[in-house]
Amino acid sequence: MASQKSAKPAKLSTIVVTAITVAVAIGIWFTGQNSHAAGIEVKVPELSGIAQAGQRSFAKNCAQCHGPIGNGTKTGPPLIHIIYEPGHHGDAAFYRAVATGTRQHHWKFGDMPPQPHVKRVEVQAIIKFVREVQRNNGIN
């Protein structure tokens, strides 16, 4: 009998735990929808030599806004994101963004200022880095 009595509270606590889990999951989902959410999860593959050079250049010039591995920060969007798949934002978009900056249009972080100190050959390596990481995260 005693075991029957304790069965009820156990069930109730299961419901409570489930409810909390669902609430947290919804909360995380909402945070994901918020363009100001920093740092999405990104898996970095083994990088080619050029991509490694690109990663170093990215860390110096882009990471302050786009995150150390293109995962986004509070001041800039993740580039390892379906929006930036090659078919939607080809390599030209990268050269253009670095040379002339870009107006706020996909997110709510404000405009991207031009980065004229980053040479074209560096952008080329940065693109290689971004594309290799994108591919590793199912963005082709």
Q: Which of 33, 105, 120, 140 binds ligand HEC (CB under 6 A)?
A: 105
Q: Identify residues 117-136 at the interface with ligand HEC (CB under 6 A).
A: 118, 126
Q: Count of CB atoms within 10 A of residue 31's CB?
A: 11
* Residue 109 engages ligand HEC in binding (rule: CB under 6 A): yes
Which of 64, 116, 119, 138 touches ligand HEC by CB under 6 A?
A: 64
Radius of gyration for the alpha carbons in the chain, expressed in angstroms and rounded: 21
Residue 39: phi and psi, rounded to 5, are 65, 75
8 part of the interface to ligand HEC, by CB under 6 A: no
Is 27 or 90 the residue whose CB approaches ligand HEC more closely? 90
